Amino acid sequence: MARITGSYPDDLDLLIEGAVEAGVFGGKSDALREFVREYFEDHENERIAAAVALYERERITLGDAARLADVDRWTMRDILREHGVELRLGLAGEEDAAYEAEAATELEFGDEPAGDGLSDSQ
């Protein structure tokens, strides 16, 4: 889990402390995580903009961008193209390859039966 340090107005700090003391949150970190999570849930365009910016700066993969933007990979590719971002081909490393392999095992292809894809007559 990432750590950040930041500053915010004293009144906001007091409200967060009060919410923690009232049992609304387990701690300041819990409160801040919840605020950020809710912000991005409520602001789809900002969530997508963040994913596009990170992908464009080569900080994340297409799969990561899709996950952060809360869309499928095909939609993320279209979004990146709409923003004029060049798609990167290939895998950046072993971690990307493992992620892609795991994602491939979760793919479903309509009404095809499970198995080797060969019919009984073959």
Q: Are residues 29 and 48 in the same domain?
A: no
Query: Is the model more confident about 19 or about 121?
Result: 19
Q: Does residue 44 sit in helix, strand or coil?
A: helix
The number of distinct structural domains making up the chain is: 2
Q: Where do the DSSP E strands lie in 23-95?
A: none
Residue 87 CB contacts under 8 Å (≥ 6 apart), including other chains: 62, 77, 80, 81
pLDDT above 60 (res 18): yes
Q: Are residues 22 and 57 in the same domain?
A: no
Residue 114 binned pLDDT confidence (cut-offs 50, 70, 90)? low
Q: What digits encode the pLDDT tens for the residues 40-61? A: 999 999 999 999 999 999 999 9
Mean pLDDT of the chain, nearest integer: 86
Residue 121 domain flag: no
Structural domain span for residue 52: 44-92
Q: Are residues 88 and 48 in the same domain?
A: yes
Residue 15 domain flag: yes
Q: Which two tokens stand for residue 94?
A: 């072993």
Q: What digits encode the pLDDT tens for the residues 76-100? A: 999 999 999 999 876 556 776 677 7
Q: Determine the pLDDT at residue 4.
A: 83
